[in-house]
Amino acid sequence: MRVAALYDIHGNLPALRAVLAEIACEGVETVVIGGDVAAGPLPRETIEEVMALGPRARCVRGNADQEVVAAYDQGRRCASSESDPAERAAVFAAERISHSHRDFLANFEATVVLDVDGLGPTVFCHGSPRSDIEIITTATSDERLGEILSAVAEPVVVGGHTHRQIDRRLGDRRFINAGSVGSPYEGRAGAYWALLGPGVSLRRTVYDVADAAEHLGATGFPDVNEMLRESLTDPAHPDEVAAFFERLALTS
């Protein structure tokens, strides 16, 4: 089968719609939603766009999805009272979704395994197959990556979480980061995703970022200006972001 891997949408509905329009021309059989769907400016609308994909979508659980569900279950309804940006995003989303949206997020799978044309058995996860918060970056050493993948049966692993595309071989294993649809750290604006089968094509979909920024900026999402600036309007240098995440991985 051919698979489109869409990760880290983070409530950026305009970016998601742009990618889905491109996918419609690619003969894709399955869309893997790789987690962190709703923690962002348009949570309800983004969840509903994913729900509309129906059975052709397989959804992998991300750390932010769990945080939104937890905030909903705990009845937290004041994003501005949270000190952590991730918590503010989760509470903002929890304020705006229904119980059916909450249940949809809660039913995401820890991992998904698919037989992809040309790649064979491929495991889709969020951070790594063993943890949705494990960090893998372009700066991750061969030693650390080998240890992360050592217990994985499948020859190909597709993840996300760090919002930057990677296609890396290590012995008989291959690790792919599909990038981020909604909040990339690539050094230039766009919606980033991966088309798999029979090869690996790391994609960038161009959309009207200025119009999207105006739309997203009007939602009241906390930290929206920082989100838009760092990933889309004045992108941070991707190697600096990778170095930051790698330090975090090594000290946590």
What are the structure tokens assigned to 207, written together?
A: 């959309």
Q: Supply the pLDDT for residue 217.
A: 94
Q: Supply the pLDDT for residue 80.
A: 63
Q: Supply the pLDDT for residue 96.
A: 97
In the block, residue with structure tokens 């329009």: 21
Using an 8 Å Cβ cutoff, are 162 and 125 in contact? no
Q: Supply the pLDDT for residue 251.
A: 85
Pick from 77, 114, 95, 110: nearest CA to 38:
95
Q: What is the DSSP letter of 117?
A: T
Q: Supply the pLDDT for residue 83.
A: 77
Q: Supply the pLDDT for residue 81.
A: 63
Using an 8 Å Cβ cutoff, are 166 and 194 in contact? no
Using an 8 Å Cβ cutoff, are 137 and 249 in contact? yes
**Strand 166-170 versus strand 173-177 pairing type:** antiparallel
Using an 8 Å Cβ cutoff, are 12 and 36 in contact? no
Q: Supply the pLDDT for residue 229.
A: 94
Using an 8 Å Cβ cutoff, are 76 and 91 in contact? yes
How far apart are the C-alpha atoms of 48 and 52, rounded to whole Å? 6
Cα 223 → chain centroid: 18
Low-confidence stretches of the chain (pLDDT beneath 50): none
What are the structure tokens assigned to 114, written together?
A: 């698919």
Peptide bond into 198 cis (omega under 30): yes
Q: Supply the pLDDT for residue 250.
A: 86
Q: CB neighbours of 39 closer than 8 A, spacing ≥ 6? A: 10, 11, 64, 65, 67, 68, 86, 89, 90, 92, 93
Does this model's pTM top 0.85? My answer is yes
Q: Supply the pLDDT for residue 70.
A: 96
The CATH architecture assigned to 3-251 reads 4-Layer Sandwich (3.60)
